[in-house]
Copies of this chain bind each other. A is one copy, B any other.
């Protein structure tokens, strides 16, 4: 389904090259100051421009359609619309016949009996993270805790000074790179999360795995915890809770008052200029595909603010 959350609930809609993308948010606290300008900082972080991001210039102008009156939220559903601009549907005609490896083109055709919008991935496009980031901005206004996400690795480089040359090299080769985003949420009160099934990790991973390109999620020590001993991984308890944070801020699915820490693995961008083998469905024979060049070289770059939005959305539903 295209909705997430019970108390703070979002419904996404839109396609990459259709008229618009948007979000309806239910469960917004009344009385929050909100205007279109409030979205700009996070939208700017998501926007292209840096080395390794798409050259598609998106307009990204939010329009608040409902839920705000005289500059404050009303408590009624908040609908935010982004008209699509700079669409070049012609770019995507080829993918109708030849689905892009690593993309949803192939499965969308099966799932929707061939009726899906094929332009730019349609509803599967990374452009859907735009209204997600907008929902995150609203969520953050409801929170006293602070979510902050950033890229911590690109390819096999964890040192940011190496990234630009790595990205430039990948761009030159028509290839792409994966990366890792780390998100930290500080100021979270202890006691959030619902046993058995709505653990903090369950809710966060649910939303984060909906972000296109995510391949893994881990909390605290994460996969490294599997190599530790209990005496190394357990966080000793002091008067005010755990005194170390191997758990990443969650025990038994419930926040323990420490910083929530999780990492997200993004795969390398699927769309690459390097020729790839696919199946030409129009002619029922093998085909070779070259994706046009205006894609991100590393989706983790623009993914950080999306992960941060996801964290805020989950927490707004838990407080």
Contacts and interface: CB of A to CB of B under 8 A. Distances in A.
A163 B56 CA distance: 52
Q: Classify chain A: how many residues form its interface, as a range.
A: 35 or more
B199 A209 contact: yes
A279 B6 contact: no
A216 B223 CA distance: 6
B212 A216 contact: no
29 contacts: A1-B9, A2-B26, A13-B78, A18-B66, A19-B64, A30-B113, A31-B113, A73-B115, A76-B116, A76-B195, A77-B123, A106-B190, A106-B237, A107-B252, A123-B196, A124-B253, A156-B227, A176-B230, A177-B230, A199-B210, A217-B218, A221-B267, A223-B223, A225-B266, A225-B267, A231-B276, A234-B270, A237-B277, A239-B284
Interface of A: 1-4, 6, 9, 11-15, 18-22, 24, 26-27, 30-31, 63-67, 69, 72-79, 81, 99, 101-104, 106-108, 110-113, 115-119, 121-124, 128, 153, 155-156, 170, 175-180, 190-191, 193-199, 201-203, 205-207, 209-210, 212, 214-223, 225-239, 241-243, 247-248, 251-256, 265-272, 274, 276-279, 284, 286, 300
